[in-house]
Amino acid sequence: MVNAVVDKLDSLLEEASSKISQTADIKSLEDLQHEILGKKGKLTQVLRGLSELSEEERPHVGKKANEIKAAVQKLLDERLLSLKQSALSERLEKEWLDLTLPGEPVPTGRLHPLTRVLREVKSIFSGLGFEFVQGPEVESDYYNFEALNIPPDHPARDMWDSLYLGEKTLLRTHTSPVQIRVMEKRKPPLRVISGGKCFRRDAVDSTHCFQFHQVEGFMVDQGVSMAHLKGTLSAFAKAIFGPERKVKLVPSYFPFTEPSVEVYIDCFNCGKNSSEDQQPSSPNSSSVESGLVLSESCRICGGTKWLEILGAGMIHPFVLRVVNIPSEYTGFAFGLGIERIAMLKFRIDDIRLFYESDQKFLEQF
């Protein structure tokens, strides 16, 4: 009887050893452990048979059974360790990281093209000795119109479709009110630029927005003439559009300048051979207003070979009188649209692109 039980225990160990070594994963090892050492396991079954042994035989077989149990447990533990190790190596192999790969680039912000152009314009005029001042975006009718020689019933008010906030308060339609604000506080000599948002009740299209940016500049001193205006704007055009640019002044009308001019540069796209006899379109025509007429001859100037970049003139004596500037002083003033300059500089044919916050567009700058 004793020998039969001992044989059973030996063959149980042999069978367990063979099965344990063949287990392929931790789950099947756990099942096997249950099968051999569990409450209804094979070893437990064998141990149940001990009750049939005599008092003297029991300790001997019991000792043997404990040895077999310990041996099986040892085999199970070793196999578990080895399975865990190979599972870990397999995972490490699968999740292998190439530490030499370059890192993910961190997206960086950049300046909006209009901010860039505004800063460039400021910096050019600062190099010419102009100081920068800010003016309010909410203006009074007086500064926006009346002091600029545009009384309430003046037909020139049609040129500026305005957004009124109250009877005499509006969102400024241009930056020219800054001229008045500066000159009523300070005396010449003055060389000042100002810039920022302007607002008009204009229908939105490829060259117009209800909100846009202007830069205003003016110089007041004794003996200031149109020659100074042309020289200053010529230096500006060369700095922003290239040293070979030519400037041309074409008569125009603004109530606060006399004489008034529209300033053109020769088209940098097709105007290398531009000649003076090629007339730009009338200042009031839509082609000049938009500045970007698309035609087969040139998509930038539409074949006119000249591009309007700003309005300017000699400050009207009425304006100088309003701010009590003595009559021995004269001055010039100019006003340009930042969007217009940016569109020409970056060859953009739709102003709305500046305001759509389209990453693909903005990332190009």
Rounded CA separation 312/176 (Å): 11
Residue closer to ligand FA5 by CB (options 262, 266) is 262
Q: How far is CA 100 from CA 25, 85, 91, 93, 96, in A?
A: 33, 26, 20, 16, 12
> Minimum CB separation from ligand FA5 for residue 337, in Å?
2
The set of long-range contacts for 285-288, using a CB threshold of 8 Å and a minimum separation of 24, is: 288/262
Rounded CA separation 124/241 (Å): 12
Residue closer to ligand FA5 by CB (options 79, 200) is 200
Q: CA angle, 253 as apex, 249 and 255 as ends, to 5°? A: 130
How do the residues of the chain divide into helix, strand and coil, expressed in percent and rounded to 5? 45, 20, 35
- 268, two tokens: 């940098």
Question: DSSP letter at 238?
Answer: H
Residue closer to ligand FA5 by CB (options 143, 254) is 254
> Minimum CB separation from ligand FA5 for residue 297, in Å?
22
Give the residue closest to ligand FA5 by C-beta.
337
Rounded CA separation 58/52 (Å): 9
- 100, two tokens: 């030499």
Contacts of 343 (CB under 8 A, 6+ apart): 207, 291, 292, 349, 351
Residue closer to ligand FA5 by CB (options 145, 268) is 145
Which parts of this chain interact with ligand FA5 (CB under 6 A)?
159, 174, 176, 200, 202, 208-209, 212, 214, 216, 254, 257, 310-313, 333-335, 337, 339-340, 351
Q: Are 188 and 331 in contact (CB under 8 A)?
A: yes
> Minimum CB separation from ligand FA5 for residue 205, in Å?
9
Question: DSSP letter at 356?
Answer: S
Residues in the chain, total: 365
Q: Are 312 and 179 in contact (CB under 8 A)?
A: no
Residue closer to ligand FA5 by CB (options 91, 197) is 197
Residue closer to ligand FA5 by CB (options 312, 320) is 312
What phi, psi does 272 have (nearest 5°)?
A: -60, -35
